[in-house]
Amino acid sequence: MTLQELEILLQEDVLEAIEQNIDCDPLKIALSGKIPHAREVASQVKYLQRARHKLPRLYAARGIIPQRAFEQSSSEECAAQKHLAGDTLLDLTCGLGMDVAALASRFRRIVALERDPILAAVTQENMRRMGIENVEVKNISAEEYLAHCEEHFDWVYADPDRRSEQGQRLVRLEDCSPNIIALLPQIWRITEHLAIKNSPLFDVDEAFRLFPEAQVEVISLHNECKEVMIYTPCDSPKLVAEAIGRGRYEAVRHEVDNTPTADTFSADEYRYLIIPDVALQKARLVVHALRGKADVWSNLSFGFARELPHDIVARVAEIDHIAPFDVKALKRDLKGKKVDIILRDFQMSVDELRKRCSMLPGDEKKIALTRIAGKSYTIYLK
């Protein structure tokens, strides 16, 4: 977004046009000869419509939404999961500001840094529209601010930019901007508590390598990993799987036991298939979390239970029967049928299975496939 585009979006006639066309097709808006600044109105309507579910508070306030900032922003549901509270907070990389908007009610004062002058102006305007008065957006880089900062903060929060100048996705903290690892001496000079949001691809072991005394949380929404949070320091390093709307599981890291919970696979005895949420998988807590509730052989596999388990961060499906994996048998049973396929630690993709067995997308039938102790199985579900 340019300064000229921002100035256009602040005009009263443009604000009215956005409101009047909020439910219209953005393409038709862009081609209209009657709407003032139709291209800018169309762009905002497009991203406001997308924000209706991801960022409902910003949508309701009719906030200004630049394309790249929207794509990199946390959803409000994920932003609400941040476990920070106190008197003052410094956000080193506020972007569109959805995390600090969620945290504003938990702090008396928040200073939010944004190095891009247009995005800083947009975020400050959006805070005003949402009625948030205790967030001060400063147009300055984290490096420059920290070099001269004399104020103490209860928490410092960072969500580094994970795209290179060429648009490539970055995962390692040292490669992101700002380089939080390089800034640690300056960060620890002004706070005792640091929280870092990382890519969903970020490895939990890497988190503990960088911050041995930390609480590492994997956050998922609708069984999709959204982010990996690091809170440091932590008296007792913990691993946490937070599946929004499904549940939370946490364990002291040195107590995690990932040895298989059973010696043999008794296919005829199992009544329930346990499908661990992706947050448990990413945190490598599947075996530990299901111990005593299901038989499970690795953090990549399903769990199998004889009795219906409770209080688990997982879905449960009733098993019809289990058979050794056989392409010919699958094709004989399910050719031409609409089949919902769930895989864990399996040698084929869903697309390859559908093609080889002539199955169609859908949920007329449900199957799950996995490998246990080197053998592959098909689980037919009721």
Give the model's pLDDT for residue 170: 73
pLDDT in tens, 33-56: 899 999 999 999 999 999 999 999
Average pLDDT score over residue span 274-295? 97
Q: 163: how many CB neighbours lie within 10 A of its CB?
A: 14
Q: What pTM was estimated for this model as a whole?
A: 0.92
Which residue type is seen at 298?
Answer: S
Is 274 within 8 Å of 294 (Cβ atoms)?
yes
pLDDT in tens, 245-284: 999 999 999 999 999 999 999 999 999 999 999 999 999 9
Residue 302 has pLDDT above 80, yes or no: yes
Least confident of 125-139, 168-182, 331-345: 168-182
User: What residue segments make up the domains of the chain, in order of their start?
Assistant: 3-54, 75-254, 267-381
Give the model's pLDDT for residue 169: 78
Residue 341 has pLDDT above 70, yes or no: yes
**Which residue bears the tokens 């929004």?**
244
Fold of 75-254: Rossmann fold (3.40.50)
Give the model's pLDDT for residue 307: 96
Give the model's pLDDT for residue 74: 86
Residue 14 has pLDDT above 70, yes or no: yes
% residues pLDDT > 70 (the chain): 99
Is 122 within 8 Å of 189 (Cβ atoms)?
no
User: Among positive and negative, which fits the CA dihedral 17, 23, 27, 31?
Assistant: negative
pLDDT in tens, 78-117: 999 999 999 999 999 999 999 999 999 999 999 999 999 9
Q: What is the mean pLDDT of the chain?
A: 95
Residues in the chain: 382
Instruction: Please state at what angle helix 350-357 crosses helix 327-334, rounded to 10 degrees.
Output: 70
Give the model's confidence band at 66: pLDDT under 50 very low, under 70 low, under 90 confident, else very high.
Answer: very high
Is 95 within 8 Å of 115 (Cβ atoms)?
no
Give the model's pLDDT for residue 71: 84
d(CA 114, CA 96): 9
Burial zone of 260 (CB within 10 Å; 0-12 exposed, 13-18 middle, 19+ buried): middle
% residues pLDDT > 90 (the chain): 92
Give the model's pLDDT for residue 166: 66
Round to the nearest angstrom and report the end-to-end CA distance of the chain: 52
Burial zone of 5 (CB within 10 Å; 0-12 exposed, 13-18 middle, 19+ buried): middle
Give the model's pLDDT for residue 171: 76
d(CA 197, CA 187): 15
Give the single-character DSSP code of 141.
-
d(CA 236, CA 251): 10
Continuous segment of H or E residues that includes residue 182: helix 180-190
Long-range contacts of 171-175 (CB under 8 A, 24+ apart): 171/198, 171/199, 171/201, 171/202, 172/206, 173/198, 173/202, 173/210
Q: 160: how many CB neighbours lie within 10 A of its CB?
A: 21
pLDDT in tens, 124-172: 999 999 999 999 999 999 999 999 999 999 999 999 987 766 667 777 8
Is 138 within 8 Å of 109 (Cβ atoms)?
no
Which residue type is seen at 280?
Answer: L
